[in-house]
Structure 1
Amino acid sequence: MTNVLITGANGQLGSELRALNSKFLVANYRCFFTTSQDLDIADFEKVKKFIESKNIKVIINAAAYTAVDKAEEEKESADRVNHLAVEYLAKISKEHDIRLIHISTDYVFDGKNYRPYVEDDETNPNGVYGATKLAGENAMRAINPKDSIIIRTSWVYSSFGNNFVKTMLRLGKEKDSLGVIFDQVGTPTYAGDLAQVILDIIGSAASVPANSTKNTVQIYNYSNEGVLSWYDFAKEIMKMAKLECKINPIETKEYPTPAARPHYSLLNKAKIKKEFTIEIPYWKESLDTCLRIMGERK
């Protein structure tokens, strides 16, 4: 039995990983799910003691400070979770030969690209959230724990937690019309799909794929397939849930926020599909799955 530490257990991805716990057990993995209340991952000594006492061999770091706008004011809090904690996990993983799988974000890019981002494109975050996530990535890559990977994802939603899909469902039942941004383009990620991919990855081999030539931390992009705006996403949510709320397209400048969002954050998933031989569902299929689980598909 291989012991696995999963941080951020109450978040969207952590909750989806917990829902797969029976599959982890079948695959001979014993999971330890922790929250910030159970285990402060920014406390090096406590984390080290926990990992050693539980004989952890794989860490899935699904914990993050994700309040994008709030991060502009709470820079230290965001940096503590998104950067320092990742650095500590990487150091402990390096020392104990642990495989670390860390979840990052499309916000490490500035959104000015003209084609889907590949993993080695230049990073240039627009705000504190993206900057702290990139700092965490860079710390992990510098420490270079064995066979470890970073997965960048975008527009995450789930039947668990708070997210865009749940917000649209709530507002769609309360209002006759809504304005939703149409000039930010990317692809949503159903956290249930990402959780399954992570399970497939840690079960596929004990190390980074053989055709990966660099003995370094590998970065992979993951989101569902397809291209859309937040406006398109909201329209489809209303359609599938059979809500009469009219969705009107608005520009980003009409909905100002403290933190700038990438206008274009489409991720190229060719690398993860090739190296781990996975198929990624189309975004509408995954939205349908999530809404059915929530009992909102009409």
Structure 2
Amino acid sequence: MENKIALILGGQTGLLGQAITDILNKNKWEAISPAKNKFNIFSSEELKNFIQKHHISYVFNTIAYTQVDKAEQEQKKAIELNRTFPVILGNVCKELGIYLIHYSTDFVFNGQKESPYEPTDPPCPLNIYGKTKLEGEKNLLEITNLKLLIIRTAWLFGQGKVNFVSKILNLAKEKQTLNVVHDQVGSPTYTYDLAKYSLQLVNTNATGIFHIVNSGQASWCELAQEAVHCLGLQCKIIPISSHEFPQTAKRPTYSVLSTKKFTEQTGITPRPWVQALREYLYSFHF
């Protein structure tokens, strides 16, 4: 029987990493999620030793510099985590014959398209976060003979860490009105669904680039309205334009991802984000 031992980098504190750890455990995998200071992730030797010591056969990399606005000022940190680290990890995985599952983002696109982005669409990031994530992807794809799966996803919400939905709900309990951007549209995604669908994709031995998100699309404003409505809160969500909510980093106005390739590979159609949102809200007692 194949060794189902996985290393989840970012599995202790990361929004997605925690969900992956949980889903793998529920599916009778052995999921190892080391603490941040367990070893130096930038040391090939320490990475290699840890992987060999624990007989790892899969690595899920959810580590990333994800603070989109801060990345504009902290470019060095974004480059280290999003571009440099994946290559170090990729080379170790190649050497040891490990299957690497690496997560990327809808922000590799510029938002100029009017229909959902396919994995084959040319990327053109608008900000440092998107650029460094794309460079990480490219560098990994250049490593020959590496068993590599890159999963692009978007707009994550889930338990275990503060996220857009939990922030909105906490504010909505205290305020009568909230201004939320309406002219950025994307694919809200529940971390537990993403983890589940990732595992189903891994079980098909998929390699290359795939998009995994919940089905449907929404603006930030629509996502906020749905969350507030689901919990019956009285706060009114007021749509505003991006210009009225200044952010350091430029964001794509449209970054909906197509999961067609994922469905062709697995036979699974991701469930609607509204359904996933309700499960998240009602299961975790907001």
Normalization by structure 2: what TM-score?
0.95
2:23 maps to 1:20: yes
Task: Report the equivalent of 1:31.
Answer: 31
Q: CA deviation at 1:145?
A: 4.4
Q: 1:145 to 1:248 in 2, by over 3 A?
A: farther
Q: Give the one of 246, 249, 252 matched to 1:259.
A: 249
Q: CA deviation at 1:93?
A: 1.3
| CA distance in structure 2 between the aligned counterparts of 1:118 and 1:81, rounded to whole angstroms | 25
Q: 1:21 to 1:99 in 2, by over 3 A?
A: closer
Task: Report the equivalent of 2:4.
Answer: 2
Between stretches 138-147 and 82-91, larger displacement belongs to: 138-147
1:19-72 residue CA offsets vs partner (Å, 9 max, x unmatched): 2243232xxx32211243223322222112211222221111011111111111
Q: Per the alignment, in what secondary structure is the counterpart of residue 159 of structure 2?
A: coil
CA contact (8 A) 2:197 2:212 kept: no
* Structure 1 residues without counterparts, runs of 5 or longer: 209-216
Letter in 2 for 1:224: N
CA contact (8 A) 1:190 1:286 kept: yes
Task: Please list, as runs of the form range in 1=range in 2, the aligned pairs for 1:94-173 lying within 5 A after superposition.
Answer: 94-173=94-173
Letter in 2 for 1:247: I
Q: 1:21 to 1:149 in 2, by over 3 A?
A: closer
Q: Give the one of 267, 270, 280 matched to 1:280.
A: 270
CA contact (8 A) 2:21 2:32 kept: no
| CA distance in structure 2 between the aligned counterparts of 1:33 and 1:136, rounded to whole angstroms | 22
Task: Please list, as runs of the form range in 1=range in 2, the aligned pairs for 1:209-248 lying within 5 A after superposition.
Answer: 217-248=207-238
| CA distance in structure 2 between the aligned counterparts of 1:84 and 1:224, rounded to whole angstroms | 29
Q: 1:81 to 1:185 in 2, by over 3 A?
A: same
Task: Report the equivalent of 1:289.
Answer: 279
| CA distance in structure 2 between the aligned counterparts of 1:145 and 1:250, rounded to whole angstroms | 48
Letter in 1 for 2:4: T
* Structure 2 residues without counterparts, runs of 5 or longer: none
| CA distance in structure 1 between the aligned counterparts of 2:27 and 2:37, rounded to whole angstroms | 24
CA contact (8 A) 1:24 1:199 kept: no
Q: 1:36 to 1:220 in 2, by over 3 A?
A: same
Normalization by structure 1: what TM-score?
0.91
| CA distance in structure 2 between the aligned counterparts of 1:22 and 1:126, rounded to whole angstroms | 37
**What is the percent sequence identity of the aligned residues?**
36
| CA distance in structure 2 between the aligned counterparts of 1:267 and 1:84, rounded to whole angstroms | 26
Task: Report the equivalent of 1:250.
Answer: 240
CA contact (8 A) 1:159 1:293 kept: no
CA contact (8 A) 2:94 2:147 kept: no
| CA distance in structure 2 between the aligned counterparts of 1:14 and 1:21, rounded to whole angstroms | 11
CA contact (8 A) 2:25 2:31 kept: no
Q: CA deviation at 1:160?
A: 1.6
Q: 1:18 to 1:221 in 2, by over 3 A?
A: same
Q: CA deviation at 1:111?
A: 1.2
Letter in 1 for 2:9: T
Count of aligned residue pairs for this structure pair: 283
| CA distance in structure 1 between the aligned counterparts of 2:132 and 2:27, rounded to whole angstroms | 31
